[in-house]
Amino acid sequence: MKLLLRFPSHLHERPYTAEIILETGAKINIDKARVDATHAEVVIDVPDDKARRVVELFKERGVVVRILKKLIVWDEMRCVHCGACMSVCPRGAFKFGPDWRVSLDEKKCVGCGVCVNACPLRVLSVVEGAGT
């Protein structure tokens, strides 16, 4: 499960993510992070069986948590299935199917936005709050 974490500035100095990993045993993968002196926004991938507890613990510590169902919005009706997105995706989230239509594996997507910039028809966009 993908989660967007927003840490208020006063929470920057504590290793909350490390504490939650140790407490839950969850293997948390950090897909993307933007951290500066005033805020921190992190997209993480958490195993589904540990996600509920991880969400609870972050919220208890004052972190704003949003469950991300998807990181990329794709207007498939306008897509011409050229494969430009597939050629630049660093995670291999886009693939050609047997019918030569592009498909997206949401679990592989980290919301980096590289595909958005590569799409000649601009049929891809990063979900608000998960962007770069």
Domain boundary among 50, 68, 86: 68
pTM: 0.73
Instruction: Give CA–CA dist 68/99, Å, rounded.
Output: 29
- Co-location of 81 and 112 in the same domain: yes
The string of pLDDT tens digits covering residues 68-118 is 887 889 999 999 999 999 999 999 999 999 999 999 998 888 888 899 999
pLDDT at 130 over 60: no
Query: How far apart, in whole angstroms, are the C-alpha atoms of residue 71 and residue 78?
Result: 19
Same structural domain, 28 and 77: no
- Confidence at residue 126, expressed as pLDDT on a 0 to 100 scale: 86
Q: N- to C-terminal Cα distance for the chain? A: 19
Taking residues 2-20, report their average pLDDT: 85
Q: Which residues contact 107 (CB under 8 A, 6 or more apart)?
A: none
Number of domains in the chain: 2
The string of pLDDT tens digits covering residues 17-72 is 999 999 999 999 998 888 887 788 899 999 999 999 999 999 999 999 999 887 88
Residue 49: inside a domain: yes
Q: What is the CATH number of the domain that holds 119?
A: 3.30.70.20
**Does 132 fall in a domain?**
no
Of 68, 86, 103, which closes a domain?
Answer: 68
Residue 64 belongs to domain with CATH number:
3.30.70.260
Same domain, 60 and 15: yes
Parent domain of 24 = 2-68
Q: Are residues 52 and 89 in the same domain?
A: no
Among 48, 68, 88, identify where a domain stops.
68
Asked, for residue 121, whether it belongs to a domain, the answer is: yes
21 and 60 part of one domain: yes
C-alpha span between 112 and 89 (Å, rounded):
9
pLDDT band at 132 (very low <50, low <70, confident <90, very high): very low
Task: Give residue 14's pLDDT.
Answer: 81
